[in-house]
Structure 1
Amino acid sequence: MSTPTMSLADARAHEAASHVRTSRPQRPARTVLESFPAGGPRGQWPAESFAAAQRREGVPARVVMDLASDSFLVIVEAA
């Protein structure tokens, strides 16, 4: 009786799938341009307005929520 062998492609797929991944993927560095409290006036979005003004100036700003501080952050991610 012979022992079954894997094809080269199967062997590579097996090896790639069997590695233990211990580190998380690196996130891009972020720069916080401005912080706005989450409890702003009803119907107003100061963080979104600020980010839109930054984008008009050519800065790729976006808004994220920081749950720990209960605030909206306008950030730019470094490449």
Structure 2
Amino acid sequence: MSKPFDMELFLAAVLTGSRATRQRHIRQAKLTQAEITERWQLKTPWAWQRKHVTWFLEHRLAGRCAATRFYYLLTERLLARRLEKP
């Protein structure tokens, strides 16, 4: 049995700012991971492609307000920076 993926440890290298901001990014990244895992069974961000993140931003956040979508976009940028992907 393998250990579950630790999103907090994964993002630790790129997280800056206040504690509340770091916790928000971690919470949002975990939700993104859960949704992508449920849809495509990809458990870690290393396996994700641009289409997976785009699907999450366009379809799962479609009914959210603009501010919420913006904060999720910031979190996705942190994930991309950590993965060293554009």
TM-score relative to the length of structure 1: 0.34
Bigger strand share: 1
Larger radius of gyration: 1
TM-score by length of 2: 0.32
Structure with higher helix content = 2
